[in-house]
Structure 1
Amino acid sequence: MIKKLPRLAAVFALSMLPLTTPAPAATAAQPPLVGAGPTAMASVPAAAQDVPLFQALEWISEAPESRDGYSRDLFKHWNKGLNPTDGCDTRKEVILSEAKLAPETGARCALSGGRWFSEYDQVWVTAASSLDVDHMVPLAEAWDSGASVWTAARREAYANDQGASASLIAVSGSSNRSKSDKDPADWLPVEGFRCEYASAWVATKLRWQLPADSAERDALTRLAEVCPDATVTYEQVPQ
């Protein structure tokens, strides 16, 4: 898996139709919509495919956030990745998987050459050293939303999650620094990637059963309104 666009397409599908197109109805196999609230997460299916963004957002409960006690060091990263014997940590594995032109891999997974497309700012990157691997939902945001009560093992699993291609993304270092630990209420990528970004954000929150605060939900709702055909696919990580 080496191209970004197919990789994202495995997680969510997006096509553009006129804004007047009626929102798709939920399928019979899906539970009724539930409103944001303390019991909302209990009604969320453990996995869903191609759920309309507006509906998936309803499955994210609303809760206040707290950053008390946060430290990036509480999320062990990067670990040895999917193949502990190849010398590539999770960061390098993501970079390799998203290369448009594969780099050469040397001793200890040293990368040279290659070409990548940074979705956040829609620019080409020609050196792996200029890339950051970003957590779609930043570690600090995950902590604020409930990861503060997780075990160390679950936080490590979150920080190195390659089980869903929306969780981690290779982008230019400058765009990642611009995003930092902000949620969609405070930062968005370039317009051409916003619908995909909203879908990936919601998919990650549902995968890890994390709520959103009111400002975050409002921002995602506005995105859902202008992305009527964005869909979300996810599978929960058991608690």
Structure 2
Amino acid sequence: MSTSRTLRSALTVVALSGGLVLGLAPAASAVPPNIPDTETAQTMLTELEVAPDGSMDGYDRDEFPHWSTVSDNCNTREEVLKRDGEGVEVGEDCYPTSGSWFSPFDGETRSEPSDISIDHMVPLANAWRTGAAEWTRDKREQFANDLDDPQLIAVTPESNGAKGDSSPDEWKPEVREHWCDYGKSWIAVKDKWQLTVNEAEKGALEEMLGTC
């Protein structure tokens, strides 16, 4: 079952004769858009070009301008905070004044927007060495601010920092129940933007799809 339905839950204590039992009370969770189903993701993965990663020569995060203005006073980061949080209210500058954010990577919940990072599912550096080095700067900006696909997700800074620019063979979310959605999201982004995968990366993605 998709972690978008099961991962975000709160422990509740239910009094029963003979003791206390811990149960799971499901709660809704915002997730990035357009995560494919497992069968579609498997097809996408088989169609991705397999090639060794390219060079990091010339790479700079500034080659991927972000966070771009989306509408009115809202930039891409603020749009993701609104989308992925619960009870989010924003001020006139679009910055959240209240809300909470659940990080599926490590199962942590935070109530301050400053305690949340916006993760690029396929990191900018990974994209650079798997095809984006050949793109125009405008296309790299579109990639870094893609709100239409599962490329952006609100997570804790700790999990985002641990991931860095790693591919799935080098880093996976601490919460194993999220591996399915993580793998499908990674594949969907690589498919949309026609980025390559290396052999180890493809093997790790196959493993993650095996948990769906």
TM-score, normalised via structure 2 length: 0.81
Bigger proportion of residues as strand: 2
Which of 160, 182, 200 is equivalent to 1:176?
Answer: 160
Structure-2 residue corresponding to 1:96: 82
1:214 partner letter:
E
Write the distance in 2 (CA, Å) between the matches of 1:4 and 1:169.
16
User: Any idea what the Cα deviations from partners look like across 1:87-140, whole Å, max 9, x if unmatched?
Assistant: 1110011111111222x2113223222011111111111111101111100000
Give the gaps of 5 or more residues in structure 1.
Answer: 15-49, 231-239
Write the distance in 1 (CA, Å) between the matches of 2:33 and 2:130.
27
Contact 2:31/2:153 (8 A) holds in 1? no
Contact 1:61/1:212 (8 A) holds in 2? yes
Write the distance in 1 (CA, Å) between the matches of 2:181 and 2:28.
12
Relative to structure 1, the CA distance from residue 90 to residue 127 in structure 2 (aligned partners, 3 Å threshold; closer, same or farther) is same
Structure-2 residue corresponding to 1:152: 137
TM-score, normalised via structure 1 length: 0.72
Aligned residues: 184
Kindly state the Cα deviation for residue 10 of structure 1 after the two structures are TM-superposed: 4.5
Contact 1:101/1:116 (8 A) holds in 2? no
Relative to structure 1, the CA distance from residue 60 to residue 5 in structure 2 (aligned partners, 3 Å threshold; closer, same or farther) is farther
1:91 partner letter:
R
1:76 is the counterpart of 2:60:
no
Kindly state the Cα deviation for residue 13 of structure 1 after the two structures are TM-superposed: 3.9
Write the distance in 2 (CA, Å) between the matches of 1:73 and 1:90.
16
Structure-2 residue corresponding to 1:17: none
**Identity score, percent:** 37
Kindly state the Cα deviation for residue 6 of structure 1 after the two structures are TM-superposed: 5.3
Contact 2:33/2:148 (8 A) holds in 1? no
2:76 partner letter:
T
Kindly state the Cα deviation for residue 70 of structure 1 after the two structures are TM-superposed: 0.8
Greater RCO (CA < 8 Å, at least 6 residues apart) = 1
Kindly state the Cα deviation for residue 181 of structure 1 after the two structures are TM-superposed: 0.7
Q: Secondary structure at 1:115's aligned position in 2?
A: strand
Structure-1 residue corresponding to 2:198: 213
Q: Runs (4+) of structure 1 moved beyond 6 Å?
A: none
2:81 partner letter:
I
1:50-199 paired onto structure 2 within 5 Å: 51=40, 53-65=41-53, 66-81=55-70, 83=71, 85=72, 87-102=73-88, 104-164=89-149, 166-189=150-173, 190-199=175-184
Q: Superposition RMSD on alpha carbons, in Å?
A: 1.8
1:216-227 paired onto structure 2 within 5 Å: 216-224=201-209, 226-227=210-211
